[in-house]
Amino acid sequence: MAIVQEGSSPEMTSVTPDVTEAPRSRLPTFGDSIVADITAGFLVFLIALPLCLGIASASGFPPVAGIITAIVGGLLAGFFSNSELTIKGPAAGMIAIVVGAMGDFGYVPLTPGLQSDQVAAITAGNLQAYQYVLAIAVAAGVIQILFGMFKAGVLGEFFPLAPVHGLLASIGLIIIAKQFPLVLGAPAPKGGPLACYAQIPAAFAGINASVATVGLISLAIMFLYPYAKARIKALGKIPAQLIVLIVAIPLGQALHLNEKQLISLPDRIQDVFAFPDYSRIVSSTALKWIIMFSLVGTLESMLSAKAIDLLDPWKRKTSMNRDVLGVGVANTVAALIGGLPMISEILRSSANISNGARTRVSNTAHGLFLLLALLFLVPLVKLIPIAALGAMLVFAGFRLASPKEFVHMWRSGKGQFLAFMLTIGVIMIAGDLLEGIFAGVAAELLLNVFAGASLATLFKPNLELHSERNRVHMKVHSALTFTNWIPFLRTFRRADDGGRKDFVVDLTNAHPIDRTARDKLAMLQSEFAGEGRELELVGFTAADHHG
């Protein structure tokens, strides 16, 4: 089965599909795939339902907002994107961004012991913050549409991998800090990342025994279930999230959890929707979060789509421009009616493939099942303990900030580890994701200059090309780094002449070759191998890149 967990970072995750590779000449059709796609969509729905609720709650949005997003992503995005197997919906990697925007617009978590008038005032303020952030999400969605229309999908190739993974690990650490107290039944922590961690001892002091019983059992299931599943074949394709719900719902009822400790959903469908407030859209605060929503959401979505392409048994290739367009359209529509930002999500997409999906109909089916749940299963959904959802998100945060990720980055080279840790450090201290990613990118740039990259070729590599029959020879006479990878790739694609040629890339005179370029060359080789073509790298060894 594909080994991809919620929150894992696409570029550095080991994925081993349990599907049989099929030749491109026998691409699946609607008629021969409908049953498999609906089945896969249902199984993905079982994973998506609790995660959508939990991600929305952790983001400061009403829980139903996560379901709205997944429904829109399932029913709409596929009409624009050509990605056959990605599932569109809310993701743990966007939680810190959304809740950060909510905080900047006045969001305050409710805490026990407040007077009724205080609760009313905070609730009104949170609703206003929610509507302001919906306006930001609309603007970011429009920018993503423009990214797709003007073929800016290639911008996803610019960002070096170490800061990207530092960003994702930081988000994981933030999720853990903010969600673990909820697992214990303590109030949600306030302040920046370090302040939230400082409040965890107080969470143990204020533990609610009944809530903590549900939360800690749910957390144990999430962490131990993969080991049980590997040993007990009967568990098959049953997702851990479903097991958590099967255990947590009756346990919560037996322990008499009250309404405030359970998920809150509107009883009437007309009360599900909320609408943007654009009155503060022209402000420096709004501009900052529009940039974060559009750039980080687009980058995460493209990384996930690329990872899922590697698992596609038919080796179909996602057009990043079309996928960004599809995500942008769906994000805009979802935000207009109260939904969270969405991306092409890695866990649900991997589960989609592992469960036998063949076409994008599975994404549509998962959206339809969520719609049916919203229409007919609200009484059951309202029995889900908040602590159980918190446990799922703590697990998701752990996967994003896994110790294995830190070990992997250390083994990638000291320079990569420095950029990775600098990104995390700035985010955790300053509490600003944008500052963190910029710090990491700046560190990578300086590392390349110190390693000998010429300023003249830092953004435009010195390339020499010639062709003979169906083979292209390309020589690189300069540094090859993340800063000049896009012009390198543009020249490469132009010479490829529609994907019909083999390549020889001579890197004998290329120095330095940074880790990002090295990994992207390896991905190009995988892409060529999947198409039955050859990409030969000459003069390139492990010693040729700097760490």
Torsion of CA 431, 436, 437, 443, to 10 degrees: 180
pLDDT above 50 for 2: no
At 464 the three-state DSSP class reads strand
Tokens of 458: 């830092």
Looking at residue 12, its pLDDT comes to 41
pLDDT above 90 for 382: yes
pLDDT above 90 for 48: yes
Q: Mean of the pLDDT values across residues 40-61? A: 96
pLDDT above 90 for 17: no
Which residues are CB-neighbours of 544 under 8 A, at least 6 positions away?
A: 507, 510, 511, 512, 513
Looking at residue 540, its pLDDT comes to 76
Domains annotated on the chain, with CATH: 10-396 (no CATH), 401-450 (no CATH), 455-544 (3.30.750.24)
pLDDT above 70 for 24: no
Burial class (CB in 10 A: 0-12, 13-18, 19+), 16: exposed
Lowest mean pLDDT: which of 64-78, 124-138, 480-494, 515-529? 515-529
pLDDT, tens digit (0-9, with 9 covering 90-100), for 310-353: 788 888 889 999 999 999 999 999 999 999 999 999 889 989 99
> Residue 159: pLDDT band by 50, 70, 90 thresholds?
confident
Pick the more confident residue, 236 or 541: 236
pLDDT, tens digit (0-9, with 9 covering 90-100), for 242-301: 999 999 999 999 999 999 999 999 988 889 999 999 999 999 999 999 999 999 999 889
**Do 305 and 88 form a contact (C-beta atoms < 8 A)?**
no
| Whole-number Å distance between alpha carbons of 501 and 469 | 9
Q: Mean of the pLDDT values across residues 90-114? A: 90
> Residue 15: pLDDT band by 50, 70, 90 thresholds?
very low
pLDDT > 70 in the chain, percent: 94
Pick the more confident residue, 146 or 19: 146
Rounded to two decimals, what is the model's pTM? Answer: 0.86
Q: Mean of the pLDDT values across residues 207-227? A: 95
Looking at residue 16, its pLDDT comes to 38
> Residue 459: pLDDT band by 50, 70, 90 thresholds?
very high
Can you give the three-state secondary structure of 411-434, one letter per residue?
A: HCCHHHHHHHHHHHHHHHHHCCHH
Give the total residue count for the chain. Answer: 547
Looking at residue 115, its pLDDT comes to 83
Whether the ω angle into residue 512 lies within 30 degrees of 0, i.e. cis, is: yes
**Do 468 and 454 form a contact (C-beta atoms < 8 A)?**
no
Q: Mean of the pLDDT values across residues 6-18? A: 43
Q: Average per-residue pLDDT in the chain?
A: 89
Lowest mean pLDDT: which of 155-164, 217-226, 388-397, 425-434? 155-164
> Residue 546: pLDDT band by 50, 70, 90 thresholds?
low
Tokens of 102: 């909510």
Q: Mean of the pLDDT values across residues 381-386? A: 96
pLDDT above 50 for 543: no
DSSP code per residue over 271-335 = GS------TTSSSHHHHHHHHHHHHHHHHHHHHHHHHHHHH-TT-----HHHHHHHHHHHHHHHH
pLDDT > 90 in the chain, percent: 70
Which residues are CB-neighbours of 157 under 8 A, at least 6 positions away?
A: 485, 486, 489, 520
Which residues are CB-neighbours of 125 under 8 A, at least 6 positions away?
A: 106, 107, 108
pLDDT above 90 for 475: yes
Looking at residue 547, its pLDDT comes to 56
| Whole-number Å distance between alpha carbons of 305 and 297 | 12
* Helix, strand, coil percent content, the chain, rounded in steps of 5: 65, 5, 30
| Whole-number Å distance between alpha carbons of 263 and 255 | 16
pLDDT above 60 for 144: yes
408-to-4, 168, 170, 403 alpha-carbon distances in Å: 16, 14, 16, 9
| Whole-number Å distance between alpha carbons of 331 and 145 | 9
Looking at residue 523, its pLDDT comes to 85
